[in-house]
Structure 1
């Protein structure tokens, strides 16, 4: 059985926004690959959104509605990227050899 600190936080939420975890030692398994792909898409979307944010904020014709929409998108993207960072941090910690 996998210890709680070795569970992988998946890049999506379950019911009621609760985190989902994957318990497996097979990093090449279907669910692990699916999670890797979703994380890659989320990170790619964040990079694109960052570019959009620079353009929107640099445009003197951007309306308050444009900025509000941007803030909403950035908030969702930041939530996704933070989840990826937490998940990958846990994976690194779980895979490090323990030295005594």
Structure 2
């Protein structure tokens, strides 16, 4: 396994709301495991909130206050999910095209289309 020297975006913010990063060469360290567990919990909470939102939106008796709370909670969950996606995306291995500087993905010849 090659050492990983990039910073990992953690799934929580600092006290001032700024992003937190972890610099480590090991993937199984205590903070890495805590971040993995937190990401998993955030994704699970987002899934549950999405299921709840479908029910609330289908209920014609939902009042404005309930919808505002739902919108706030959905915005917070989306923020968490986007942070997880960005963090995980940064940790993906670079593709061959990206390493070569192309960055456009695989190229197919005209014959591939018949």
Q: Give 1 or 2 for the bigger CA radius of gyration.
A: 2
* Same fold at TM > 0.5: yes
Aligned length: 95
1:71 and 2:71 matched: yes
Q: 2:94 matched to which residue of 1? A: 96
Shift of 1:50: 0.1
Runs of 4+ with deviation above 6 angstroms:
none
Q: 1:25 matched to which residue of 2? A: 25
C-alpha distance in 1, partners of 2:15/2:54? Answer: 34
Gaps of 5+ in 1: none
Write the deviation string for residues 12-57 of structure 1: whole angstroms up to 9, x where unpaired.
0013100000001111111100000000000000000000100000
Q: Identify the structure with the greater helix proportion.
A: 1
Shift of 1:79: 0.6
Shift of 1:97: 6.3
Question: Residue 15 of structure 1 aligns to a residue in which SS?
Answer: coil
TM-score by length of structure 1 reads: 0.88
Question: Residue 51 of structure 1 aligns to a residue in which SS?
Answer: helix
Give 1:1-100 correspondences, 5 Å limit. 6-92=6-92, 95-96=93-94, 99-100=99-100
